[in-house]
Amino acid sequence: MSHAPVLLAEAMDALALADGGLYVDATFGGGGYSREMLSRADCRVVAFDRDPDAIVRGAELSESAKGKFTLHQGRFGDLSLEQVDGVVFDLGVSSFQLDEAERGFSFQADADLDMRMEKDGLSAADAVNRLSEGALADLIYRYGEDDDSRRIARAIVQARAAAPITRTLHFAKLVEDSVGGRRGARTHPATKTFQALRMLVNDELGELARGLSAAERALKPGGRLVVVSFHSLEDRMVKHFITERADAQGRGSRYAPDLPPERTPSFSIDRKRATVSSDAETAANPRARSASLRWATRTDAPAWDELEPPALAPRAEAEWQKLQ
Ligand SMILES: C[S@@+](CC[C@H](N)C(=O)[O-])C[C@H]1O[C@@H](n2cnc3c(N)ncnc32)[C@H](O)[C@@H]1O
């Protein structure tokens, strides 16, 4: 089992690694990015992952790169370092998480419907069995961007009235049947529903908002923010975050006195478009298909106010919050 890092060379180039620098790998995973950072420059790397299994996997590197590398279990939203030269996020789940059936992230093998990156707290089964039909439809439509959300939510509620839904394969089949089978689709009909549940269970959009703001505070002038995302909602959030902060916003004037005072850009961007994987990488690694990389350079202006996570599926988010 291994994890092939996506957009590795592109992410490293964007970080502009330099000897003596201090870099943050916000999502250690299998350590592909951290290893490459340490091999490209005589630098120090501080890495994080919220998954305890990733920390165990990183023990060897912690030992062999002692003094240059430290790995912490925790969420990148809680990052509180200062004066760093670069922060890189490689979002989503690792192949380790997907391939270990018992983690419950995948519908390729039967396991408990779990999906908790931290192995703690409420699981995907709690969401499926305890959210209202309206909240489930909201979640699958907004987070999963699945037009069949209402049909899927109805099927979930009908099925759980007979017995709780606890297993991945049972759940995937239920979703598949609710939309009338596979109909020649390239991806499994439950893909988007699984993704939506994973994002809710791990508060992935909230974490991204907190992580971006934490990185903004951590970076020193000239430091690089680099983000690889795999979901259009995440890519959109990253794009808005850096383009808004790279542009002086809301210049108040006597014609529009209600606008907030002008803000000094906290980032600059060289390239507005996202970098995507090459055809060769996509052919070799299907995970690369949806990858998108954006980066920006920190200016010396103060960090802006904390980014508010978008309330995308308010009904699902409110019900989920109540269950905590
Ligand atoms: C795509 S993998 C990273 C792969 C890594 N770049 C590599 O080359 O092996 C994403 C990792 O980020 C971790 N992760 C996701 N959200 C996180 C968060 N909010 N805080 C810390 N780690 C997170 C996941 O547990 C997973 O191990």
DSSP 9-74: HHHHHHHT--TT-EEEES--TTSHHHHHHHHHSS-EEEEEES-HHHHHHTHHHHHHTTTTEEEEES
Question: Is 97 annotated as belonging to a binding site?
Answer: yes
Q: Tokens 């620098």 label which residue?
A: 21
For residue 48 and ligand 1, the question of a CB distance below 6 A is answered with: yes
What is the pLDDT, as a whole number, of residue 251? 47
CA 218 to chain centre: 19
Q: Whose CA is nearest to atom 4 of ligand 1?
A: 29
235 and 229 in contact (C-beta within 8 Å)?
Answer: yes
**Cα 171 to Cα 175: distance, rounded to the nearest angstrom:** 6
Indicate if the alpha-carbon torsion angle 71, 74, 75, 80 is positive or negative: negative
Ligand 1 centroid – CA 290 distance (Å): 16
Q: Whose CA is nearest to atom 2 of ligand 1?
A: 94
Q: What's phi and psi for 85, nearest 5 deg?
A: -90, -15
**Cα 197 to Cα 104: distance, rounded to the nearest angstrom:** 11
What is the pLDDT, as a whole number, of residue 183? 72
- Say what the alpha-carbon torsion angle 136, 139, 140, 144 is, to the nearest 10 degrees: -160
Please name the helix (run of DSSP H) or strand (run of DSSP E) that holds residue 95, with its range, or none: helix 95-99
Q: Which residues fall within 8 angstroms of residue 67, CB to CB, at 6 or more apart?
A: none
DSSP letters along 160-192, please?
HHHS---BHHHHHHHHHHHTTS-TT-SS-TTHH
pLDDT by 10s per residue, the chain, length 324 = 688 999 999 999 999 999 999 999 999 999 999 999 999 999 999 999 999 999 999 999 999 999 999 999 999 999 999 999 999 999 999 999 999 999 999 999 999 999 999 999 999 999 999 999 999 999 999 999 999 999 999 999 999 999 999 999 999 999 999 998 877 777 899 999 999 999 999 999 999 999 999 999 999 999 999 999 999 999 999 999 999 999 865 444 455 555 566 689 999 998 889 999 999 999 999 889 999 999 999 999 999 999 998 899 999 999 999 999
3-state secondary structure of 224: strand
For residue 31 and ligand 1, the question of a CB distance below 6 A is answered with: yes
What is the pLDDT, as a whole number, of residue 238? 97
Q: Report the residue among 50, 118, 230 best suited for mutation to probe ligand 1: largest number of ligand atoms under 8 A from its CB.
A: 50
**Cα 167 to Cα 109: distance, rounded to the nearest angstrom:** 10
3-state secondary structure of 297: strand
What is the pLDDT, as a whole number, of residue 250? 45
Question: Is 90 annotated as belonging to a binding site?
Answer: yes
Q: Tokens 């839904």 label which residue?
A: 165
Domains of the chain and CATH, by start? 8-95+204-298 (3.40.50.150), 97-202+314-323 (1.10.150.170)
For residue 50 and ligand 1, the question of a CB distance below 6 A is answered with: yes
Ligand 1 centroid – CA 206 distance (Å): 15
Please report the atom of ligand 1 found closest to the CA of residue 88.
Answer: 6
**Cα 45 to Cα 313: distance, rounded to the nearest angstrom:** 36
For residue 229 and ligand 1, the question of a CB distance below 6 A is answered with: no
For residue 216 and ligand 1, the question of a CB distance below 6 A is answered with: no
